[in-house]
Structure 1
Amino acid sequence: MKKIFYIAVIAGSMFSACSKMTDINTDPTQFTKVMPEGSMNTAIKATPSILAQYPVNKYWEYANWVSLTGRYDCADVMWQTSYVTILNNLQQILNNYGNDTAFNNRVQIARIYKAYIQSILVGAYGPIAASQANDPNRMSSIMYDKEDTVYANLLNTLKDASAKMNIAKITDKLPYDVIYNGDLLKWKKFANSLRLKIALRSQLLLGSTALNAVKEVMADETNLIGSEADAAKIQFDNTTNGNQNPYYIGYSGKANVTAPTGISFPKMSDYMLDFLRSYKDPRINVYFDSVAKATDRYILTDTLASTADDSLRIVTYPIPHWGIPKSTAKLSGWTAGLANQVDPIGNANTFSNVTTKVWSDPLRPMVIMGFAETLFLKAEAAQLGLGGSQTPDAYYNAGIDANFVSWGLTLAQASTYKQVDGVKWGTSSVGKTFRNYIGITNADIPNGDINKIYAQAWMNYFPDGGFDAWCMIRRTWSLNFPPHTNPASPGALYSDVPFRMFYPANLVSLNPDGYADAMTQLGLVGTTSEAINNTVALKFMKPHVTINWNDVPAQYDYSLVQKWYGKTIQELSAAAKASGFTYTVVSSYKP
């Protein structure tokens, strides 16, 4: 039905001057208009594929949560799906019902969701087809809107759509709504919360326009996501047409090491391990599964004291979690520091898998905007002096609580975590965190409480908000991630977090005018490929200078996993008894 309607639109533009021919070419047995709920459902159900590209999720790698033992490949993963399947369906709602007052609320919902999808596209690519997109009168010459124009229009659209929604008119709602089950007020809250997120993301680009939008939204907090029940989540019904959680489709039933397709199973990154261990974060045990077999676990050599005497014990024991680097390739500048040392990286079985809670349930809803996320956005707004009914630290602490509760952790655990230096408001972690396994980065959060907000927002986005985590990284550069030493960029020795995605290669021939204009906007005129430069900064990003990683001293460092069960042999013995693993005392000596 959708395809027939799309063809009808194209035909209408071709034959509008010949009414008789139009009549002749109209099939009276076919629908000429799809109801809004049909088009909305198609658009929403296609969204997980652009946010959780299976079987490989690029955003998990970009966010530095996991490593898929892949590379920073910035090729398109979502352009066609976004424009053909999602935005095209949304545009049909606007074309067919935009002037029909009986469908006002449903039209506004389509506008809100269109703004959401366009916010993803502009954050990934920069200049995008927006004002001229999905127009059958423009087939091969669609110009790309400037990045600042897109962001400004998104803020205006969300404000207007929220204002025009009539939540009292319950007859005008989506009868089949896989996000909010027809709740119009929640759609309004999503629109305003999304406006807050986009305004904060674009503040360096739009200046006062963005900041004023933040102030307006924060002045009306009752119309923001205010509980877990308000969170925007795509629901799945486990039908035979593949309507299941995308991670379930990608990973369920596949081997923990390597899928049948040759795609590696997602493993905890070495930076994530560093961060979780540095802040004594209990989420290590809910974000990631411990290595199931004790015999597969990484065997650590450690030195422990004893409460029974003054001797030290050199012991070996298995640890439940281990993080994999983005690449094991070593830069030439690191050779001297790493020479004659034992590389601590183990084999594929020693690394911790992404928790089964993420990928084993076909019905697990996919979060596209959450409650904890909104609290961290409010904390940032309040910290910037842009409004709010509470203090920044109140929002911040509530965000941590909300995240912990959503994972089944207790408020007592959250309370303990919030007292750790670098997590606790007003404290610093600089110089107190562990270094990664080759010692070139650490988990320090820069001084300043706003950086704590950024760090906790980054943690909270796991697992469904990989795109938003990537945006958070690029607009703040608060965290110190190690480089990828096997990047996809031709000729590059290493790469930091990718600055943007590359357009599909076929746009050069399908839309040469639009593509050439986009290259001009990006400053890439005259280049033969976008892939020659992975550091073309988008305008919303905070300025960032890539470190010359080849010059950074490297040395293997075990400190982030040492003393895993405590500082004494007695603590290790108790843990071994409780968990059923064995350890070996290699030797003992007096210092």
Structure 2
Amino acid sequence: MKTIFKQLCFLSVLILLITSCTKKFDEINQDPNNPKTTDPGYLLVSAEKKAIDNIWNEWNNGRTGMHYAQYWSATTYSNESRYQIRENQNNTFWNILYAGSIKDLNEIIKINTEKSFDYSPNQIAIAEIMKVWAYHMLVDVYEDIPYKLSQGGLDWPNSPYDKAITIYTDLLKTLSDQAAKLDPSKGSFPAKTDIIYNGDVNKWKRFANSLRLRIAMRVSDVPAMQTLVSQAVNDAITSGVFTSNADNALFRYVEAPPNNNTLNEAYKSRIDFCMCKTIVDYMLDINDPRLPIYAAPAKDNGRYIGKAYGLNQQNGETIPNSAISLPGSAVMDAKAPGVYMDYAEVEFILAEAVERKIISGSAEDHYKKGIRASLEDRGVATADIDPYIAGVPYNGGQWKNVIGTQKWLAMYMQGLEGWFERLRLDFKKPNGQDLFVAPVDGSLDREVTVVPTRMTYPVDEQQLNKSNYDKAVQSIGGKDSKAAKHFWDLY
């Protein structure tokens, strides 16, 4: 009997242990380094950094946007400035936004939808606003892109493409809807996980509305979009846009890698970029006080000298770096911020909106505010600001050239945006003379003479998503060419 009793006791304890362990089996077998759920805050900072690093780096900014806007020339490898792109980098640009930032943002939305908290509506709205920014970059680089399927669950890389004009319409609607949903009385993201605005809901709202201005103005020449443009611009202003440089949407880099400015890191190992003759000569002509900030004087003679744009590699290599101006230390600093959008751009958009009769007011006043905002943000001495503004007077009869040139100067370092505005406004110098030049030694793309109007789709899309890629190519005119024009680029 004693033996049986002991066996029964042992069996009872064993059953208890097994039951107890089974209840915590899932916990015991979870890899702490790969949790099943992720904090939405860490997903946001991941999405923010992936996006700005992708837009700001030496490849997509330095070798594409900064060349196409003629801010920079190449010191050695000039093929990109003559429009021969590196396909692996084109793939990377596309992949990081789709499989990186947008995927992270969709996950934030999913987490907050499946289990809602007080802060969930604001987290969802902020994620949606960031998605609009990412999609807007994609659609302006490529034209038609995959869009609809990625709203619920990203079916990439097997997604069909949507028409750019349809995407634009939805981007404006999304920003309107999400700006209205933002509630400053409720929680948001923790400050430490939102590098742009530290979780400030009011600033996210102003960013959403300011982004509406950019997107609406980009399509302001399209007849079918006129009513929507007017409504979007006026509604955004009423809801509240940027009113000072304190509102700027920035990614604040820090001193040490891997979180320093990505161009700063690239510059440590090689000097591939110098100032372009186009921007240096123009800034010298108008005595622009930002030039010593944008550029460094040539070491040989202390003068500001830009390199001719689009020299072939052999001709370019004969000019030593000491004989030309390199980018200034301030813009290449480890802590120089990446810019999603700033207040100066908003004022230039408002000046244009007045000229287009979309809003009432003084285009000249907004133009001057835009210049002042840029100069103050760059650290120009207060005493130099008013004289400079007086020296670049407003001329409503030449508003595209006047606003265009100053907006272009203010956007220095925002290479892709400078390129887009060059395409959209086709601005010249305010006196009507040409500002931009074709590559001096000619284009390496047989279909492009002066400047590409879009980027060709990544090679991966041709291989992994071929049927949808083929349909997209037919939709944009039958050829995947850097000379195919955006639907908004009408002139």
TM-score range, shorter chain: 0.7 to 0.9
Q: TM-score of the superposition, structure 1-length normalised? A: 0.70
Aligned partner of 1:516 in structure 2 is 470
- Cα deviation 1:7-28 (Å, max 9, x = unaligned): xxxxxxxxxxxxxxxx99x965
Cα distance in 2 between the residues matched to 1:214 and 1:134: 25
Cα distance in 2 between the residues matched to 1:59 and 1:346: 23
Aligned partner of 1:16 in structure 2 is none
Instruction: After TM superposition, give the deviation of residue 487 of structure 1 in Å.
Output: 5.4
Aligned partner of 1:337 in structure 2 is none
> Which letter does structure 2 place at the counterpart of 1:172?
S
- Cα deviation 1:348-407 (Å, max 9, x = unaligned): 421111101111x3222222111211111121122222225x521111111111111122
> Which letter does structure 1 place at the counterpart of 2:415?
G
Aligned partner of 2:199 in structure 1 is 182
> Which letter does structure 2 place at the counterpart of 1:473?
R
- Cα deviation 1:463-511 (Å, max 9, x = unaligned): 1x2111111111111133100144564446x731210011111211211
Q: Does 1:250 align with 2:219?
A: no
Aligned partner of 2:390 in structure 1 is 419
Aligned partner of 1:60 in structure 2 is 66
Gaps of 5+ in 1: 1-22, 298-318, 331-342, 428-446, 544-591
Given that 1:500 and 1:537 are in contact with CA atoms closer than 8 Å, whether structure 2 keeps it comes out as: yes
Gaps of 5+ in 2: 1-24, 429-433
> Which letter does structure 2 place at the counterpart of 1:367?
V
SS of match in other structure, 1:185: helix
Given that 1:372 and 1:400 are in contact with CA atoms closer than 8 Å, whether structure 2 keeps it comes out as: yes
Sort the Cα spacing of 1:497 and 1:195 in 2 relative to 1 into closer, same or farther, 3 A: same
> Which residue of the other structure, out of 539, 542, 545, is the alignment partner of 2:487?
539
Aligned partner of 1:506 in structure 2 is 460
Sort the Cα spacing of 1:73 and 1:210 in 2 relative to 1 into closer, same or farther, 3 A: farther
Instruction: After TM superposition, give the deviation of residue 524 of structure 1 in Å.
Output: 2.2
Cα distance in 1 between the residues matched to 2:442 and 2:408: 23
Pairs within 5 Å for 1:512-591: 512-524=466-478, 530=480, 533-543=481-491
Q: Does 1:350 align with 2:305?
A: no
Cα distance in 1 between the residues matched to 2:312 and 2:157: 43
Cα distance in 1 between the residues matched to 2:327 and 2:405: 20
Aligned partner of 1:320 in structure 2 is 303
SS of match in other structure, 1:418: helix
> Which residue of the other structure, out of 405, 418, 422, is the alignment partner of 1:455?
405
Given that 2:209 and 2:237 are in contact with CA atoms closer than 8 Å, whether structure 1 keeps it comes out as: no
Aligned partner of 1:466 in structure 2 is 415
Cα distance in 2 between the residues matched to 1:134 and 1:33: 20
SS of match in other structure, 2:437: coil
Given that 2:308 and 2:440 are in contact with CA atoms closer than 8 Å, whether structure 1 keeps it comes out as: no
Instruction: After TM superposition, give the deviation of residue 57 of structure 1 in Å.
Output: 3.7
Sort the Cα spacing of 1:88 and 1:488 in 2 relative to 1 into closer, same or farther, 3 A: farther
Cα distance in 1 between the residues matched to 2:357 and 2:485: 27
Given that 2:145 and 2:161 are in contact with CA atoms closer than 8 Å, whether structure 1 keeps it comes out as: yes
> Which letter does structure 2 place at the counterpart of 1:97?
N
Pairs within 5 Å for 1:183-332: 183-205=200-222, 206-220=225-239, 223-238=240-255, 240=257, 242-251=258-267, 253-254=268-269, 259=270, 264-292=271-299, 296-297=300-301, 320-328=303-311
Given that 1:219 and 1:387 are in contact with CA atoms closer than 8 Å, whether structure 2 keeps it comes out as: no
Q: Does 1:399 align with 2:370?
A: yes
> Which letter does structure 1 place at the counterpart of 2:233?
V
> Which letter does structure 2 place at the counterpart of 1:73?
Q
> Which residue of the other structure, out of 77, 84, 98, is the alignment partner of 2:113?
98
> Which residue of the other structure, out of 331, 340, 355, is the alignment partner of 1:383?
355
SS of match in other structure, 1:419: helix
SS of match in other structure, 1:354: coil
Given that 1:87 and 1:134 are in contact with CA atoms closer than 8 Å, whether structure 2 keeps it comes out as: no
- Cα deviation 1:98-117 (Å, max 9, x = unaligned): 36253110110000000000
Aligned residues: 440
> Which residue of the other structure, out of 340, 347, 355, is the alignment partner of 1:368?
340
Aligned partner of 1:113 in structure 2 is 130
Instruction: After TM superposition, give the deviation of residue 418 of structure 1 in Å.
Output: 2.0
SS of match in other structure, 2:339: strand
Q: TM-score of the superposition, structure 2-length normalised? A: 0.83
Cα distance in 2 between the residues matched to 1:396 and 1:346: 38
Is the helix fraction higher in 1 or 2? 2
CA RMSD of aligned residues (A): 2.6
Q: Does 1:478 align with 2:432?
A: no
* Percentage of pairs with the same residue: 25
Cα distance in 2 between the residues matched to 1:91 and 1:328: 43
SS of match in other structure, 1:357: coil
Aligned partner of 1:126 in structure 2 is 143
Sort the Cα spacing of 1:534 and 1:172 in 2 relative to 1 into closer, same or farther, 3 A: closer
Given that 2:43 and 2:105 are in contact with CA atoms closer than 8 Å, whether structure 1 keeps it comes out as: yes
Sort the Cα spacing of 1:327 and 1:140 in 2 relative to 1 into closer, same or farther, 3 A: closer
> Which letter does structure 2 place at the counterpart of 1:476?
L
- Cα deviation 1:399-457 (Å, max 9, x = unaligned): 1111111222133322222222xx20138xxxxxxxxxxxxxxxxxxx52243112111
Cα distance in 1 between the residues matched to 2:482 and 2:123: 40
